[in-house]
Structure 1
Amino acid sequence: MEKVFGTSYLVADITKMHGGAQKAVYKIDCTNGFSCVLYVWDMTMNYFQEEITNNHLHAQSFGSDLFELNNKYLIEHSIRTPALYDLNKERIRYSFDYALVEYVAGQTAEAYFTHSDSRVKDNVFQQLGEMITGMHANERSIYGKPHHSGNNTEPCHLLQLEHAKIQLSYASEYMDGIRENQTKLLDTLLELESSIKPRSRYGFIHGELGPNHVLVTPALEPYLIDIEGAEFFDIEHEHSFLEFRFEEFYRYLKNDKLDPNRMLFYKFHHHISLIAAGLKLIHRGYPDQQLARNIADYHTVCALRFVEG
């Protein structure tokens, strides 16, 4: 703190915050009233280190390099996200990268689902909808991270198809309903994929934009957090996730120009992926075991509805 901010920034308190499954997050309070956040990307504390080691999709959403890259891109394009004060990647004293980041006071967007004033809710979610629309309007002809260049070898949705097959196989080992319907679920996945037509324009998406990844300040300004997975991709991947994560409040965020076939495919993919993610959090000792179980159970019900439908 002294090296980055100066000698008057003496640490008074450090509080562990809920940091999700891929990095540790701490709030640092100083004696002079200043606060900031410490991000720690320690692989030994990552609940998806196996997937990262095997270069599966989680490798695209972990690490200080991706945070730095996406933080710069979002801020340059006027999309609110906490400022990066300092990033340490030297790994001399510690075996992990860490960063000091702006502390954004406020609550997650989820807290505004039950706000008593409808005008406040309108304000928050309309702003968020405008922010998401503006972010998705940043387009280019290749998908991937902002620094990725060159041609893509296959359509981006095929990456999710292969990912879903792996997650379906994993889930079938532990969930009776999935195991009993595994063939039907795979057939449904392939059927949905077969309806997708080629595309050559991709928008910039967050990648996992639930209401828990939106901080809202007391001035009702939304900020995006957990941005490591942001990239250029089919925006339907984002919207299909937004639709079930924001439920009735998705009406503020929706886009009338989406491809319905992609929406169905990605929605089904999300359900399968989140069943497996919930199970992995259970198996790997995630602190909130009930949340992990609820995720696996809820998305099992959702995935099976596709088969029944």
Structure 2
Amino acid sequence: MTRDESVAGRGFLRADDVRDLVAEQFGSARRLTAVDRLTGGSKKGVYRLRLDDRTTVILYVWAAAENFWPASPTVPDDPFTDASGADLFAISHAALTAANVRVPRLLMLDRDGRYLPSDIALVEDVGDLTLEALLARDPVAAATPLSALGDCLRRMHTTLGAHYGKLATITHGATSQTRSAEDVVADRALGHLDAVATRDARLADAHDRIAAHVRHLRGAVTARRAYGLVHGELGPDHVFVTPDNEPALIDIEGLTYFDVEWEHAWLQMRFGDAYPALRPVELDPHRLELYRYAQVLSLIEGPLRIAATDFPNRRWMLDLAEWNIAKALAPL
């Protein structure tokens, strides 16, 4: 994680905002020396708090000023929308810990506004080394945490549930499912197509052919009702390598029970040549192909939507959308 620059008008945290938090959590003998806002967060703020004994912790802040994403249409049974918030984080953290999956240790969670007018969490600082950076710098050294990540994923993907959905929904017994998981994905993909067709002439021209391709892929998928625990958007940038060479998962609020092919479509895309080292569970190739194409459409809609805001890395989002527009048109 690297230090982020402020965005005008966003009101990000400063040292004075968290001095009471530090004093109460770490005692008067330890002082706060710096607060660094880290890059990468688009739904929550991520800050490194530096103390005068040279220790550090990470602060998560779920505040409106930290969320760059504009609203989008949602449906109740889509488990991949609105994956943010302290409640989701707490439930996901507990579930992954129970599955023996390494995540930064939770030190404190405040949902009562005791320190800030927003939900916050203090977690262990696992350092700055991502698996993505290690794979690029030293693939041999990355082999051990990559293999360990594969072990973690198999534990997650064999932790099964009878219903799909966010963990909070299932935990509170509020599941209400009228569609299959594959229908959720197909309908979600068609909704993303409708949205992006208004923003790009190429997609508008190909709209009907893309929609037909989605329906063709959906038609090849047979029914199944077994759901594993999936992260949802796990790339090597969402895995930190600890000083003990362990993989630690971050951005876990989107944890859900769903078809494991959804996870592996994403993993194949994000890990590339390193993917086979994860030693995946057995997958349904037709379901995998539908989910892969649906994610392409998602990676057009999301980046174009956030690029219309004051998100600081707008060019990167536009490039990502362009890359996936080419992938969406290729099968036609």
Report SS of the residue matched to 1:104: coil
Instruction: State the alpha-carbon separation in 1 of the partners of residues 187 and 43 from structure 2.
Output: 22
Q: Which moved more, 1:141-150 or 1:164-173?
A: 141-150
**Structure 2 unaligned regions, length at least 5:** 1-21
1:94 Cα deviation (Å)?
A: 4.1
2:47 maps to 1:26:
yes
Contact 1:41 1:63 (8 Å CA) reproduced: yes
**Deviations 1:240-287 (Å, cap 9, x if unpaired)?**
010011110111124251001110000000000010111112101211
Q: Where in structure 2 are the equivalents of 1:152-191 lying within 5 Å?
A: 152-191=177-216
1:91 Cα deviation (Å)?
A: 3.2
- Amino acid in structure 2 at the alignment position of 1:122: A
Give the CA RMSD over aligned residues: 2.0
Instruction: State the alpha-carbon separation in 2 of the partners of residues 100 and 242 from structure 1.
Output: 28
Over the matched positions of the two proteins, sequence identity in percent amounts to 28
Q: 1:290 aligns with which of 304, 308, 315?
A: 315
1:120 Cα deviation (Å)?
A: 1.2
Contact 2:150 2:280 (8 Å CA) reproduced: no
2:110 maps to 1:85:
no
Q: Which moved more, 1:268-277 or 1:51-60?
A: 51-60
Q: Which moved more, 1:127-136 or 1:143-152?
A: 143-152
- Amino acid in structure 2 at the alignment position of 1:159: V
**Deviations 1:40-60 (Å, cap 9, x if unpaired)?**
111243122413888776544
2:136 maps to 1:111:
no
2:250 maps to 1:225:
yes
Contact 1:9 1:34 (8 Å CA) reproduced: no
2:34 maps to 1:9:
no
Instruction: State the alpha-carbon separation in 2 of the partners of residues 113 and 176 from structure 1.
Output: 37
1:22 Cα deviation (Å)?
A: 0.7
1:108 Cα deviation (Å)?
A: 1.1
**Deviations 1:171-214 (Å, cap 9, x if unpaired)?**
11222221111111111111111111111211000011011111
Name the counterpart of 2:96: 74
Name the counterpart of 2:13: none
1:20 Cα deviation (Å)?
A: 2.3
Instruction: State the alpha-carbon separation in 2 of the partners of residues 76 and 9 from structure 1.
Output: 32
1:92 Cα deviation (Å)?
A: 6.1
Contact 1:268 1:306 (8 Å CA) reproduced: no
2:294 maps to 1:269:
yes
Instruction: State the alpha-carbon separation in 1 of the partners of residues 269 and 242 from structure 2.
Output: 24
Contact 1:51 1:57 (8 Å CA) reproduced: no
Name the counterpart of 1:45: 66
Name the counterpart of 1:214: 239
Instruction: State the alpha-carbon separation in 2 of the partners of residues 93 and 79 from structure 1.
Output: 30
2:124 maps to 1:102:
yes
Contact 2:261 2:287 (8 Å CA) reproduced: yes
1:166 Cα deviation (Å)?
A: 1.8
Name the counterpart of 1:35: 56
Q: 1:58 to 1:257 in 2, by over 3 A?
A: closer
Q: 1:236 to 1:298 in 2, by over 3 A?
A: same
Instruction: State the alpha-carbon separation in 2 of the partners of residues 57 and 284 from structure 1.
Output: 24
1:107 Cα deviation (Å)?
A: 1.1
Instruction: State the alpha-carbon separation in 2 of the partners of residues 39 and 53 from structure 1.
Output: 25
**Structure 1 unaligned regions, length at least 5:** none
1:302 Cα deviation (Å)?
A: 1.0
Instruction: State the alpha-carbon separation in 2 of the partners of residues 202 and 113 from structure 1.
Output: 30
1:151 Cα deviation (Å)?
A: 6.1
Q: 2:86 aligns with which of 64, 67, 73?
A: 64
Instruction: State the alpha-carbon separation in 2 of the partners of residues 57 and 146 from structure 1.
Output: 9
Instruction: State the alpha-carbon separation in 1 of the partners of residues 203 and 278 from structure 2.
Output: 31
1:6 Cα deviation (Å)?
A: 2.2
TM-score, structure 1 as length reference: 0.93
Instruction: State the alpha-carbon separation in 1 of the partners of residues 145 and 99 from structure 2.
Output: 20
- Amino acid in structure 2 at the alignment position of 1:81: V
Contact 1:57 1:163 (8 Å CA) reproduced: no
2:167 maps to 1:146:
yes
